């Protein structure tokens, strides 16, 4: 079934409200199952799309209720490309890698943890892509 779907892009438009990232997570999980991704990789996909969508809502769109977050999914060459677009100006500066032990010990706030997870779980990550709608984060996850 998967090979007939390769040229198709799925677009999900989310209201700018935390909680709606679950729609992107469920949609991406279903999409990945169509292409026989392992359950472990599907969990990775769900984590990165949730983190990216929440960051887009909170930081890119700055919580504006009139803004949207768009998630585009595309399967090609045994990988899923996920593009999360918000209406913001992009990431001005990437934070240093968080100290997980300090965060778990509640000595540091979990700032930058979402970006860290995305970078650890995705095979490719590209920040600050300009689009006609705003900032885009591109992630690729291989089977």
pTM of the model: 0.87
**Architecture of domain 2-142 in CATH?**
2-Layer Sandwich (3.30)
Q: Picking from 39-43, 76-80, 109-113, which range would have the lowest pLDDT averaged per residue?
A: 109-113
Could you please report the per-residue DSSP string of the chain? -GGGGTT-EEEEEEESSTTTHHHHHHHHHHHHHHTT--HHHHHHHHHHHHHHHHHIIIIISTT-TT-EEEEEEEEETTEEEEEEEESS---SSPPPPP-HHHHHTTSS--TTHHHHHHHHH-SEEEEEEE-SSSEEEEEEEE-
pLDDT at 1 (0 to 100) = 46
DSSP for 15-51, written as a single string: ESSTTTHHHHHHHHHHHHHHTT--HHHHHHHHHHHHH
Say what angle helices 39-55 and 21-34 make with each other, to 10 degrees. 150
More confident residue, 129 or 140: 140
* pLDDT tens column, 52-92: 999 999 999 999 999 999 999 999 989 999 999 999 887 76
Delimit the domains of the chain by residue range: 2-142
């Amino acid at each position: 079934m998967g090979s007939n779907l390769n040229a198709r892009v799925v677009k999900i438009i989310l209201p700018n409200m935390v909680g709606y990232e679950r729609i992107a997570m469920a949609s991406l999980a279903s999409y990945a199952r169509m292409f026989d991704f392992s359950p472990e990789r599907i969990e990775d996909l769900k984590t990165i799309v949730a983190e990216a969508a929440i960051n887009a809502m909170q930081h890119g769109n700055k919580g504006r209720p009139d803004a949207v977050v768009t998630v585009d999914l595309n399967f090609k060459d045994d990988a899923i490309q996920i593009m999360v677009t918000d209406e913001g100006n992009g990431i001005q500066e990437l934070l240093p890698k968080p100290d997980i032990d300090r965060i778990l010990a509640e000595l540091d706030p979990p700032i930058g943890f979402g970006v860290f997870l995305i970078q650890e779980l995705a095979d490719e990550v590209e920040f600050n892509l300009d689009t006609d709608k705003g900032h885009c984060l591109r992630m690729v996850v291989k089977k």
